Chain A
């Protein structure tokens, strides 16, 4: 698969019998619209020169999944992203997955959380982001040491941790394979709609769609991992931290 096939795959993904029925009503059109916009970039291809493209789902209008009960908590997921590339080379890649909790008792701890927070949450209709996952490609201009492709997350604090992660701390960053919208949708189905999506995930056409994204976004990454491990040189993480490391 090349980038020129990606708009079609996104449009297929958006269909009701794929991911459409798991999407929030006001999110159903986003993938079609964004796929169309990406196709617009790709149609500007000049002779023999790979075309520059952009694909974004802004955080203000993310791809929102319907709410679902997981472990007795009402959760919803949304995904936003910023991607840029030249031909099949990805130059910018930032994908954000947020988990929202809509369960009053789970998101506000009486006696622990501030009263101000209570009224704030009340005003928002009792919803709160409980986890955010950033799947990023290292910014070419960054001065901080970070793996080429990485994941930045929160964690599960123990009760006595009173966990609060200050905004200014930008570590840790885990080396992680690139995840595009299609691969993340599979991730969301497997984790948050496990039973409901069982039938879809068995379908060969769904597997084919996911495999196309694996090929395009992850294959080189994993090949590089294997090659580096086989080379017996520096550690994998150190290798991915090197500024000159590329996939």
Chain B
């Protein structure tokens, strides 16, 4: 199925450039058709955009150049996206810009703030050789389409489209879906998409990426991504809408699958201790455990928010980088990140954590003998 992209920019050269790129690149040629339009200035321009009937919209951030008639829109792509959201409530809108004009890192929790934007993508990163952005854009458009096509927009059907296991039903309600007020709740496409992408799939807690899943199971990420373990946990893999190319796994399913095969002596332990013993026993080979980035101890029981590496809870501090629902895993930063990373913002620790920072920064890296 070909996704029609409506691309709005004030620069004719950019419009032409990406029209050609999307047409000629083998990764996009069969999946996307990009229709380039200059920034809308009047009612007629907006009507022309509606006629395109896009499945995905790209908007440039800087819209300051005059068009062939000398007209200038004079607003940013972020502002224009709010207007476009009114015209296309059920279509994903992506800010398609350059790093030099819009630095995402300058804004804390930017995706939560810009409610009319569904994503921010840098132009020069889309066609990089190993980029997964094209797959993500396709998944975004397809996800919106699936949501649009659901006739009865109720909670039950939303659970179906994300393929939620029954064991997660209660947790999903606790993940603060903004439209949820009971089983009969009705949702709009853009709100449901935002909740799924920016809360459910974004924060670890109900769904885990490979490093969180590996840490939960007490093994290294490399071990977790090996074919045999991937096959073993196939049923835990998220296959609902907006599925990221790197993969996500339902936490409760990982535990359920592991427990179903383990012996009583293994299930009596926490999964991160029991599962490696089980895997070692059945595969008859040593399994690399999840190691704490700070101390080298195993098994680590958390994942460092900054370094995205396993860490022991006792060598990490609570961090408040966002307003994630309480059912999601708490963000914690390893002592290692506190010591070495420039991305740590001291203001985001709680008062007790902040008091401990100078002492942690003086510590030598701890290594298990």
Contacts and interface: CB of A to CB of B under 8 A. Distances in A.
A204 B314 contact: yes
A205 B318 contact: yes
Interface string A1-27: 000000010001000110000000000
Given A8-B351, A12-B350, A209-B352, A202 B318 contact: no
A17 B355 CA distance: 18
Contacts of A204: 314-317, 353, 356
A60 interface: no
A208 interface: yes
Interface in B21-61: none
Nearest to A8: B351
Interface residues of B, number: 16
B326 interface: yes
A209 B350 CA distance: 12
Contact of B313 (A17, A202, A208): A202
Nearest to B326: A16
Contacts, number: 35
| Candidate in A8, A199, A202, A209 with the most chain B CB atoms within 10 angstroms | A202
A208 B354 CA distance: 11
Contact of A208 (B301, B312, B316, B352): B352
Nearest to B270: A198
Given A203-B313, A204-B317, A205-B317, A12 B352 contact: yes
Contacts of A16: 326
Contacts of B315: 204
B67 interface: no
Contact of A199 (B313, B326, B351, B355): B313
Interface string A201-219: 0111100110000000000
Which 5 pairs across A and B sit closest by C-beta, in order of nearness? A205-B352, A202-B313, A202-B314, A208-B352, A205-B353
22 contacts: A8-B351, A16-B326, A17-B326, A17-B330, A199-B301, A202-B312, A203-B313, A203-B314, A203-B316, A203-B317, A203-B318, A204-B314, A204-B315, A204-B353, A205-B317, A205-B318, A205-B350, A205-B356, A208-B352, A208-B355, A208-B356, A209-B352
